Homo-oligomer: A and B are copies of this chain.
């Protein structure tokens, strides 16, 4: 390995001068700078990251935690996060899967392996998060928020999104509406549900308890739940799913029973990931500006890394209903009118 000291010797200067050239310091003559740069190129010099990190107390690396990278929502989020970090010259350490990863990520920040963390899948009652916040570590919550946490948070207006769906379904005359919930803890689940229920109630449409079913955020789980709903004697005419992935599961559940979407049942999702626009699903869904939210989260985090004294900021992005073929083809499902 080539060190700055060796480069210095090669260029006939001191190690300090090499370091100055590396930092782009102004206190170096043009002549010297050229000699040093030539020496660096000739020797194939690369500064040693660990040594630099030790001296500067900065790793140049940011950690990102996702719950399930095979849920296609997260790759889209990660792509944008990754791009923003690249642009800022930061590296990205990725943690996947719920279990020990959260703790592991917070250990990493304690060890200085990362300068800050983006949590995309935080849930209530995370002790390690509390601890990190008490130590004033730079942390941003993206996608899922946490009311009680005093830290930067970037979320979608999930309550508003839920309301949009309620309004849309009620406005099209649906009366037997099912809600395919996600897990209990994530704020996204809770807020989407709250907005949905609120607005339905305001519009005088009942949400039958027996048509409210819970599924994991997975295709398979949603598919099963959907089959359960459609097997009823009084199946729903529309199903609002907690996110797009579960909506795909619902569509496939319907398909597996020979039901057609939207002729037999409307299906709606949330997120508007790319796959939602594929012909096979053509899914009506609530769009959240994924890339923009990711960029914002990175921006906030990098600011906070530079200045930990900033007071916590919350950015809530608007949601928008995107109507597609999973609801649009029939103005009102026949059975919804018949009943």
- Which of chain B's residues have a CB closer than 8 A to the CB of A54? 48, 50-51, 54
Which of B83, B95, B248, B274 meets A278, CB within 8 Å? B248
A96 x B78 contact (CB < 8 A): yes
Report the minimum CB–CB distance from A120 to chain B (whole Å). 14
Q: Does A13 sit within 8 A of B, measured CB to CB? A: no
B69 x A75 contact (CB < 8 A): yes
Report the minimum CB–CB distance from A23 to chain B (whole Å). 16
Q: Does A70 sit within 8 A of B, measured CB to CB? A: yes
Q: Which residue on B lies nearest to A64, using beta carbons?
A: B94
A251 x B274 contact (CB < 8 A): no
A69 x B49 contact (CB < 8 A): no
Report the minimum CB–CB distance from A131 to chain B (whole Å). 9
Most-contacted residue by chain B among A50, A69, A83, A112 (CB, 10 A): A50
Q: Does A303 sit within 8 A of B, measured CB to CB? A: no
Residues of A77-121 at the interface with B, using a CB-CB cut-off of 8 Å, are 78-79, 82-83, 86, 91-97, 100-101, 104, 107-108, 110-113
A93 x B280 contact (CB < 8 A): no
Q: Does A183 sit within 8 A of B, measured CB to CB? A: no
Q: Does A152 sit within 8 A of B, measured CB to CB? A: no
B79 x A75 contact (CB < 8 A): no
B83 x A79 contact (CB < 8 A): no
- Which of chain B's residues have a CB closer than 8 A to the CB of A59? 49-50
Q: Does A185 sit within 8 A of B, measured CB to CB? A: no
Supply 6 further A-B pairs (C-beta < 8 A) apart from A51-B54, A78-B94, A251-B280: A46-B110, A46-B111, A50-B50, A54-B54, A70-B79, A93-B93
Interface residues of A (CB under 8 A from B): 1, 46-51, 53-54, 59, 61, 69-70, 72, 74-76, 78-79, 82-83, 86, 91-97, 100-101, 104, 107-108, 110-113, 219, 223, 248, 251-253, 255-256, 274-275, 278-281
